[in-house]
Amino acid sequence: MSLLTLAPSPALATSIRATAQVFEDPRSQALLAHVQRVAPSDASVLIIGETGTGKELMARHIHALSERRDQPFVAVNCGAFAQSLVEAELFGHEKGAFTGATQAKAGWFEAANGGTLFLDEIGDLPMATQVKLLRVLQEREVVRLGSRKSIAIDVRVLAATNVQLEQAINAGHFREDLYYRLSVVNLPLAPLRERPGDILPLARHFIERYSQRLGYGAVALSVEAEARLKDYGWPGNIRELENVIHHTLLVCRDKLIRPDDLHLSQLRIERSDPLPAVDESAETLLTRAFEQLFEEQAGALHEKVEDSLLRAAYRFSHGNQVHTANLLGLSRNIIRSHLIRIGELRVNKRRPGEHLQGDRALQLSV
């Protein structure tokens, strides 16, 4: 039996990641053969599959089969960071690049230099970050936030998503050019319900693993329990199977798992397209917002929109005037005067000899 496992970690106790993968089902065996052919190359790979199907495990296996196996493997969840911080995490930043950046820090691309960078949930990246990611993949260099110096990198990128990026492209949420750059190799992972030949081998693997942890001897599956495991739909895929087996071992008797010991979820998940079918690009949404504003208010709308845009850009830039100016294509002096006008900056008197410190605590001599 071909088996992939994720090293035990305390973080996995609450993780939704799959910690094991087998290739007994004919569909899984075909996938494994395909992976073994493409892994030694440096081609980008897009891994597509539902939550809990083993996307990170597959990425790690591709790295292990490649020429980069002795170099770093760095896994990053793109949906785990606030939109205002994701670029600093990916590409790094210099000291003072934004409020709270007290020292320079390398990003994940630099950390993975020479090895493999796994970008999980790639579909969660903001559009602005997608543009910069595309440039990094094309130019093979990164520019840290707050710097103009480019840093050459040698990184193989593996990406994963649990949504159909083609639909995201049609809805204006994902760049088509980035999709083609990432999916030189397209690797779909079938859900567990579509590869039933893997269910019992995985169940036996988890029984052995948790029996050892709990200090039990050998625990067997009854024929009836095997049938129930094979007939269940497994909406949570491999991770759900692991949790079910763990709980079952806590309640089973006489070292034999019976059907009644298997506490299977009654939750029924209706799987539908996670994205709207209509085109909802940023420009379309902005136009609709303007139309609603025109209907609800009258007079002085230009000033209100301008003020709202400035506040949003200033907060997105972590209170940094230079970054706000660059984002809006204006000079810092114009930005500063507008920020003072709308109350985002304080104008205080200072005594001779005092120094100006910080954007938000701006002091001007009078």
Q: How confident is the model at residue 285 (pLDDT cuts 50, 70, 90)?
A: low
Which CATH number describes the domain made up of 193-261?
Answer: 1.10.8.60
Question: What fold, for 281-366?
Answer: Arc Repressor Mutant, subunit A (1.10.10)
SS3 labels along 74-102: EEEEHHHCCCCCHHHHHHCECCCCCCCCC
Contacts of 237 (CB under 8 A, 6+ apart): 18, 50, 51, 52, 53, 54, 191, 192
User: Pick from 167, 274, 240, 197: which is nearest to 20 by CA?
Assistant: 240
| Domain range list for the chain | 39-190, 193-261, 281-366
pLDDT of residue 336: 86
Q: Which residue is listed with tokens 């994701």?
A: 86
Over the stretch 230-247, which tens digit does the pLDDT of each residue have?
999 999 999 999 999 999
pLDDT of 212 strictly over 70: yes
Over the stretch 118-148, which tens digit does the pLDDT of each residue have?
999 999 999 989 999 999 999 999 999 899 8
pLDDT of residue 356: 43
Over the stretch 256-267, which tens digit does the pLDDT of each residue have?
999 999 999 876
How far is 114 from 69, CA to CA, in rounded Å? 10
How far is 109 from 112, CA to CA, in rounded Å? 5
pLDDT of 353 strictly over 60: no
Both tokens assigned to 120: 């999980």
pLDDT of residue 232: 95
pLDDT of 191 strictly over 50: yes
Asked if 78 and 124 count as a contact pair (C-beta separation under 8 A), the reply is yes
Q: How confident is the model at residue 334 (pLDDT cuts 50, 70, 90)?
A: confident
- CA 89 → CA 80, 84, 311, distances in Å? 11, 10, 24
Radius of gyration (C-alpha) of the chain in whole angstroms:
26
Averaged pLDDT of the chain: 84
pLDDT of residue 276: 40
Q: Which CATH superfamily is domain 39-190 in?
A: P-loop containing nucleotide triphosphate hydrolases (3.40.50.300)
pLDDT of 363 strictly over 50: no
Over the stretch 90-128, which tens digit does the pLDDT of each residue have?
999 999 888 888 899 999 999 999 999 999 999 999 998
How far is 300 from 23, CA to CA, in rounded Å? 65
Of 89-93, 185-189, 297-301, 307-311, the least confident: 297-301
Question: 116: which strand partners?
Answer: 73, 156
